[in-house]
Each structure stands twice: as C-alpha cells, then as structure tokens.
Amino acid sequence: MEFDAELLKEFLNESWDNIEKMDNDFVELEKNSEDPEIITRIFRVIHTMKGCSGLLGFGKLEKISHYSEDILSQVREGSRKVDPPTITKLLEAADALKEILYQVEETSGEGDGDYSQLIEELRQIAASSDGSAAKAPPPATVQSSPPAETKTPADVGEANWQVTIRIDENEKMPTIRGLVVVERLAELGTVIEAIPDVRKDEELATNESLVVFLKSEMTAAEIETKAMLSSVVSVELEQLAEGQADEPSEPEESGEVESARAEHSESPAQSASAKSKVLTERVESSIRVDIDLIDKLMNLVGELVLSRNQIAQFANTFDNNLFTSATHRLNLVTTELQEGIMKTRMQPIANVFNRYPRMIRDLATDFGKQVDLRIEGKETELDRTLIEAIKDPMVHIIRNSMDHGIETPEKRIEAGKNPVGSMEIRAFHEGGQVNIVIRDDGAGINIPKVKALAIKKDLISQQHADSMSDRDAANLVFMAGFSTAEKVTAVSGRGVGMDVVRNNIEGIGGSIDLQSEMGKGTTITVKIPLTLAIIPALMVDNAGHTFAIPQVNLTELVCLEGNEIQKRIEMVRNVEVFRLRGELLPIVRLADVLDLPKRPNSEIDFLYIVVLSSGKGQIGLVVDQVFDTEEIVVKPLSKHLKHLAAYAGASILGDGSVALILDVQGIVESAGIEFDLDLEEARNAEANALDNLAKDDQQDILLFSIGSQDQYAIPLGLVNRLEEFDRSKVEVVSGREVVQYRGDILPLVHPEHFLSVSEMPEQKGLLSVIVFSFEEKFVGLIVNEILDIQQVRADFSQASVSEGGVLGNAIVNGKTTEFLDVYQLIEMALPSLVRKNSNTPQGTGRRVLVVDDSPFYRTMIVSYLHSAGFEAVEAAHGEEALQKMERIAVDLVLTDLEMPVMDGFELLENLNEQEVYKDIPTVVLTTVDQDSTRERARQLGVDSYLIKVDREELIHTVDRALKERVKS
C-alpha cells in the first residue's frame, strides 16, 4: 500500500495523542466504571481510529477498533457492565492498536503481526448479548514460560539500545541476513524485540529497516561491530533512556517477565507494551491548539487592527514625536501579530493536493484511462477554513476532468495524441490571492454540444448561443441545471453539477473560470482569497454613504471626465454600456441598486467606474467617489439584514464608523444584468470595427516622469497598481529600499539609477510608485510623477542595443517618450529576485521566432522572452519569417495574424507544407478574438492561441508548447 507521507503523519500524530489520553482514561475507568464521560471519551477515540484506519486501508486497525467500538457502545448504552475481563480485553485491544501504529510509523504498513485471535475474541464479546465477557477465552495476561534467550537478568550495568539495521538492497535474502544479525546481537545481551520479528519467520522486505531492541551491557562500538556484517549497509544505535525499556508500565510487572513476554509474540498485545513505553516518551515538537481558540485570537487581532487604524488616524492629527513613534511601533507589532495569527491558520495546500495522485490513479483505473499527473505549488499556504472549503469543489473538478476531459488511450491515439493523458494542478500566490489551475490535455469542451444542450434546457436562446464566444459558451457548464455528461456516471454524475462547484468557490469569495479548446484540453482557474477574516477592500462613496468593495472582485478603475462621460457611455437597448478596450461593459449605478439619490450625467464632472468581475460576468459599477484601499475586518450582518443580497457584511473603519461591504455577485444579480442577448449582439456587431482598431497598433500606455523633464511610458497592461506611499514608511533592508505592502514586502526600484536621466529633484510629500507583479512578487518602481493614461498609436522606434532598460521611444503628445523595459529594469535592480524564482520556466537558450508587424509588440515580446532565458529572432511579416528560418534554426514560431506582405495564416500554411518545419510548434499571439479565426488557427495545427500580452502567460505557453512537442 502506498500512502502520502503527510497524511500518514497526521494520522499517526492524532492517533498517538488520542491513545495516550485513552490510556489514562482506561485507568480511570477501572477506578470509576460508572462514569459515562470516560466511556464516551474512549469510545470517541476508538471511533475516530476506526474511521481513519478504514480510510487509509489499515484492515487490522480497523477490525480491532471496530469490535472495541461495539463493546464500548454497549457499555455506553448500559447494556453491558464494565467488568474486569471486558476492560482487560479492551486494554489488550488498545495495546494491539499501539503495536500496529508503531509498525505503521516505522514501515508505513501494518506489519505481519497476527491479531486474528484477538479480533475473534473481541468479536465474540461484542456479539455476546448477555453483556459479559465470560464466553470469551480467558485473556492471555500472564505469561509463565521462561525466557528462552535471556542471558542475565537485568542488572545495573545494562543499558537499553534501539539498533536500526539497514541491509543492502541487493541482498537476495534480507530476512535471513536480518536473522543472523539478531542472533549475533542476542549474544551480547537480551533481544527484547525485533521488528519485523525475523526469528518468527516475519519477512524483512528489501529496503525495510530491521529494528532491534536490545538490553546489553556492551558499549555502542561493540554492538555496532557485532552487527556490522557483510551486506549490512548501516547500523544506527540509539540508547534509550533509563526505564524506557525496562521499567514496566504496570507496577506488578518485572523486567524479567517483560523480556519473557517478548518471546511470545503470539500475544502481541503484550509484547507491544515494551514498545509503547518507548513511544510514550516521544518528544513533542508541535502542539495541538483548539481551532476555536485560534478563531478567538483571530477575532481579537481583528479588533486590534481596528484600534490600530483608529489610533493611526488620530496620530496624524497630533503633532507629538513620542506619540508618533509609539504609534509606529504599535503599527508594526500589530501587523506582525496579525500575520503570525494568520500563519497559525495557514496550511500548505499539500493537505488537499496530496490526495490527488491516489485519487486520480484510482479514477484512471475505473475509467480505463492513462494519466500523467503533475502537481506544482504544493507548499502554497492558505487559511485552514479555505482548505476545507475547496476540498469538495476540487475533487469535483478533477473527477469531471477525468470523466469527461481525458479520453481513453484508444481515442487519444486516434486523435494523434500521446495515449497517456496529462493533468496539471498548479497552485500559486498572486496579488493576495491563491490561484489554482487545473489543466488537462483531454478532449476539451464540445462547444456546439454545450450550446445545443443549453438551448435544449432553456438556459439560453438560440440567438444568444449563435452570438456567444467560445469562452462564454464553455463557461455555460457552470450554469445551474447544466450537466455535460452524456450518461450519468457513478463518478461525476451524482446530481451535483459544476454550478455547485462555482457556488462553493464564490461562497468563499473566490472565482472560477474555464477555458477550453476542443480536442486540446481544458484549463480551469480557481482564484480564492488567502483568508476570509481580514480582506483588502476599496472604499467608495455614494450619496454620502461609504461602502467597501472587496479587492478580490476589483478589476480596474476608470474615471471619465467632462464630456467624455456623454461620449463614452452608450445606450444599447436601454442598458448603459461603456466600451472598455473593445469590450462592452454593462454599467450599473450603485445609486440604482441601493435606491439612493442619483445625479444625472450632465451634473457629474468625474464619473468613477469601478470595474468588477463576478462569476456571472463583468460590470462597471458607477459610484460618486473612490477613496483608498483599506484592510478591513469582515463582520457578518444581523439576521435583519442578511436577506439583502447587495451586502456581504459590514466593517468598522479607522474613524470608528461602520461601512457596509458590497457583495459584487449580489449586486450583479440584483441589478438584473443579463449578460446575454442585447450585449452579446451589440458586441458582435462591433467586433469587426474593433478588430480594425486593434490592428492599428493602438496602445493604452501609462505616462510618467522620472527625473525632472523626461517623459516615460509603459504599456498599461503591465501595470498592476499605482500607489502612493508616505516617505517615512520606506525602510532600508540590507541596503535595499522597501515598503510594507499588503502584508508583504515591496522592494522599490529607482529607475534613475539605471537610466541616463537628469537627477530626480528632491521630493516631498507622497512617493509615487508603479507596482508591477513580477514572477508572483510585487515590485515597485519609484517615479517622479504619474502624468496620464492615454491611448496612443505609437510610431515606435526600437532602442539601440546599448540602452539597458529601454525598449525604444516614440513621440507622445509632441514629446519624445521612452518606453521602459520594466522586466529588464527589475532584473538589473533586483537580480536576486529573478534568480531566486524557479517557478517560471527557463528558456535555456531555446530560440523563438517572433513574427509581428508592430515593432512595439515585437520588442516587448522579445524582451519577455529574453528575460526568461529564451533566444529570440524577429521578423516583421511572414515572408521575412520564412527567409530567416532558412538561415536560422528555430524551436518555436510565435506569430501575429494580421500582417502586411504575408499574414499569419499564410505563414502557418507555409510551415505546414514544408516537411522540415512541420514539427516546429506554433503559437498565435493576436488581438483578434473571434471564433472563426480561432477555428482557422486550430485547423492549421496551432499549439496555442493567445489574446493578450501577459508576460507570465506568454512564457508559460511558449514553454508548454515546446515541452509538449518534445514529449510527443
């Protein structure tokens, strides 16, 4: 049997704890057999052990605890008296449990001990209805046979040794070799116990250690020499403390009797007592803490955070250095305390993940499928309650994937795939959330079939289905009342659909997204918050009310000014929409949702749109004012308010006032937004026009200044957040400037140190920082001033090679503007951050041909690839690409679709036609998100189809495409 080590450890820890307590309880029970509490306590321990051992497949443990439980249950119900024979038998059972647990701890197996007699006796007692143990054979308590191998009775000079012997794995007869060792050790003193007991013909498996408990007056060296035979790889000696092996647990026992018992292992319960003595003195390195206590501490820390916020606010109005510094200390200590407490609740996700290899193998066997499972990020930690909460949804997702996703080997071969399917489960932290990605290379979701089924089940209309994008259609599986299984199987069809999975995930403030490509596989991304108790939230105001919006739902903020409001908010069939980078975003006014007084657009100078995403779609929530983000403690609402879907709870703010926390999902629902029909229709009608726009190399860029004059830009897509920090908050850690940011350390980079710019002017006030996420870490770039966000059509010219950290420049607003290569800058400033991170694949010199007509995109992509260790070759169109490929061997082609001279499709066709290029993996990187183009790319055998340029996604995709080709 094979178990996961972590799970086993947990089981053993728990069992030892319980058993140790139970021993005491048994003693109590003998004294006071009427106390129902003691019986209940023992009953509970045995019951737990029965459950766990059954789960882990430990048959002997399960049987023994099962019948013991029966007996105890009768005692508890009062149908059986607690008489000495019963207790003796139960004690024997407890000893047997200990002995087996010991075996489990040592060998991960139950060992070869034969407990059938004990089990039978227990069964008989349990079955005897007269409530006495009289019918059971007399318990084998007294062993009178003389010790066979005892040389000398215990005397003062003797010590107890635990000798662990490892025998060469090439040894053909390890059991015989072990026996010889034991016999030799017996010459030195008394062998109390050998595990496995080779003298009793128990097998010593290859790679298994032989453990001998020896009582001897010899020195360690002498024992070691004696045991060191040929084929013995190592001998480990551990002297056991006085009394560990020779002080009997029951006072009437003597050392002599004990050694005698060791010879009678057919009475396992008793030989176990020798071992249990060793075990009871195990040193504890961890303690168990009641989860209620931790919850209480967590609540108190929450209160402390609130008080801290209040004091901090007060300190700002109070000009006293002593007070300020005391506040600062309070701040630090509170933050650390908060983190510390949170950590106590944190568990590695391995606790859930570790079950999967076994589960997936079992499922694979059931379905007759073959799967190669890859798990990454097991060490990712999150809150215990969340770990519990994702268990079931995860199992469901995996089962679904195994059932409907991965095909049978025959089908896979037919489809030209590796007969062994692959499944990848990856967990990682990102922006204060935990992401879990479950990816399989199975059949993917049959979009037309999903649509047809959804129509049949009246979930969507035919018209809607026609206009639906593939991605949206794939996500239909999350709709209530939907199940894609053609036939309901025992595994995934148990009346629980993916809608329940989504509800569960969203119930804990998470989100789930599904991407699928028919024939290629499915990727499910689950995002969940790190903890539920304290969350970052954006504070907004509407009609004088302050509300908190959980950060987890927040995508971005848009502010429209003056006449832009009229221009950019359009009406599509009575629904207000806003065009956000080509996507139509339904506008919801918080005032409407909450029946608050509304101001007409004409009276508004600035229109704040908070772009929110929920499982059901994206909305733009219009609020009057946007404030800062704050860490807030979530408090539930009383029963009077629970029915209001718009609120997720309430929180107390720094000034002591109460703010309501908005429930984004609830708002989407209560606003009655239908993410179909109208909008979809409109979206499609606009699609062509938008494609044309996209082709024009339009870029959203962030303009800012470094130094006094210079204007710099970066693509907005790279920016994670814009922040302002108090200069006093900047700390210097090992020569590097950092600030505390969202419970983490944010390293700050001074771009002027790496660029040739005029000196930064002496700055006062707040520090402007652009926050990037770089390989799952945040990095802040200090700038002089944030200037603007603009959509530009940059006439971009590439930088000369010499300028590190700069991609190139363009004229924006009549000014020469340098485009920064953020990743290169970060690499220059924080080389350790780059090298330390092993999560991102390393290109290790593989060569990628980047084909794109926009020099800007091309340069950016090349810089991404370089930063991950890939080599890159550039080409402006298909023809140039083909020319380059004649001269330079490349490992992968990454191409745009819309290009002059020869477009992407033509290039792909060309590559397919030529024998030499046919096996080179291809990735399409485009702004065109249309089903027709996707389909065409798919027919051309494209490995991946990417829409937006995100560094991590790009690198992972390229890496995956390369790896898969190598595998197949």
Which residues in this chain contact another protein in the complex, by CB under 8 A? 303, 306-307, 545-546, 594-596, 635, 637-641, 644, 646-647, 650-652, 656-660
Return the structure tokens found at 670.
């209560």
Total residue count of the chain as it appears in this document: 968
- Contact by Cβ (8 Å): 817, 713: yes
Q: Which is nearer to another protein, 330 or 677 (CB)?
A: 330
Rounded to a whole number of angstroms, the minimum distance from the CB of residue 464 to another protein is 30
Which one, 312 or 375, has the nearer CB to another protein?
A: 312
Q: How far apart are CA 618 and CA 554, in angstroms?
A: 10
Residue 360: both structure tokens together: 């997936």
Strands (E), 308-420: 346-348, 371-376, 381-383
Cβ at position 548, least distance to another protein in Å: 11
* Closer residue to another protein (CB): 536 or 654: 654
Q: How far is the CB of 327 from another protein (least distance, A)?
A: 19
Phi and psi torsions of 158, nearest 5°: -85, 150
Nearest to 178 by CA among 158, 192, 164: 164
Q: Which one, 639 or 764, has the nearer CB to another protein?
A: 639
* Closer residue to another protein, CB minimum distance, 306 or 575: 306
Least distance (Å) from another protein to the CB of residue 7? 38
Least distance from another protein to the Cβ atom of residue 637, Å: 8
Whose Cβ is closer to another protein: residue 301's or residue 894's?
301
List beta partners, residue 428.
Answer: 435
**Going by DSSP bridges, is the β-strand pair 209-216/346-348 parallel, antiparallel, or unpaired?**
unpaired
Structure tokens belonging to residue 409:
């080997």
DSSP state of 230: T
Helices (H) and strands (E) in the chain, counts: 30, 39
Min dist CB 539 to another protein, Å, is 13
Nearer to another protein, 7 or 543 (CB): 543
- Distances from the Cα of 331 to the Cα of 13, 72, 337, 635, 733, angstroms: 37, 54, 10, 22, 18
CB nearer another protein, residue 355 or residue 545: 545
Rounded distance between C-alpha atoms, residue 268 and residue 118, angstroms: 9
Looking at the DSSP assignment, which residues form a beta bridge with residue 571?
A: 576
Query: CB of 638: closest distance to another protein in angstroms?
Result: 4
Q: What is the DSSP letter of 198?
A: G
Q: Which residues of 725-757 are buried (b: 16+ CB within 10 A; e: fewer)?
A: beeeebeeeeeebbbebbeeebbbbebbebbeb
**761 vs 747: CA distance, rounded Å:** 21
Cβ nearer to another protein, comparing 437 with 652:
652
**Choice between 590 and 713, CB closer to another protein:** 590
For residue 25, give every residue at least 6 positions away whose Cβ sits within 8 Å of its Cβ, in sequence order, or none: 38, 41, 42, 45
What's the longest Cα–Cα distance across the chain? 104
CA distances from 112 to 46, 120, 205, 301, 648 (A): 22, 17, 11, 51, 56
Q: Closest approach of Cβ 736 to another protein, in Å?
A: 38
- Of 595 and 603, nearer to another protein (C-beta) is 595
CB 596 → another protein: shortest distance, Å?
6
CB of 598: closest distance to another protein in angstroms? 12
Using the structure block, give the residue that is written with the tokens 């996604």.
Answer: 953
Work out how close the CB of 597 gets to another protein at its nearest, in angstroms, rounded to a whole number. Answer: 10
CA distance 370 to 417: 12
DSSP states of 598-662: ---GGG-SEEEEEEEEETTEEEEEEESEEEEEEEEE-BPPPTTTTT-TTEEEEEE-TTS-EEEEE
Measured between alpha carbons, how far is 483 from 491 in angstroms, rounded to an integer? 13
Residue appearing with tokens 């193998």: 361
Quick check: helix, strand or coil at residue 428? strand
For residue 697, give every residue at least 6 positions away whose Cβ sits within 8 Å of its Cβ, in sequence order, or none: 793, 794, 796, 854, 856, 857
Measure the CA dihedral 39/45/47/50, to 10°. -140
Nearer to another protein, 541 or 953 (CB): 541
Instruction: Closer to another protein by CB, 274 or 306: give it.
Output: 306
Nearer to another protein, 570 or 592 (CB): 592
Query: CB of residue 664 vs another protein: minimum separation in angstroms?
Result: 16
* Residue 595 DSSP label: T
Considering the complex, state which of residue 543 and residue 693 has its C-beta at the smaller distance from another protein: 543
Q: What's the closest the beta carbon of residue 667 comes to another protein, in angstroms? A: 11
Q: Identify whether the C-beta of residue 321 lies closer than 8 Å to the C-beta of residue 354.
A: no
Distance CA 607, CA 605 (A): 7
Q: Which is nearer to another protein, 438 or 646 (CB)?
A: 646
- CB of 656 vs another protein, minimal distance in Å: 6
> In the complex, what is the shortest distance from the CB of residue 653 to another protein, in angstroms, rounded to a whole number?
9
Q: Cβ closer to another protein: 138 or 656?
A: 656
Distance, first Cα to last Cα, the chain: 32
Q: Report the amino acid identity of residue 665.
A: Q
If the CB atoms of residues 624 and 818 are measured against another protein, the closer one turns out to be 624
Q: How far is the CB of 304 from another protein (least distance, A)?
A: 10
d(CA 153, CA 148): 12
Give me the least distance between CB of 657 and another protein, in Å please: 6
614 strand-pairing partners: 617
Nearest distance, CB of residue 446 and another protein, angstroms: 42
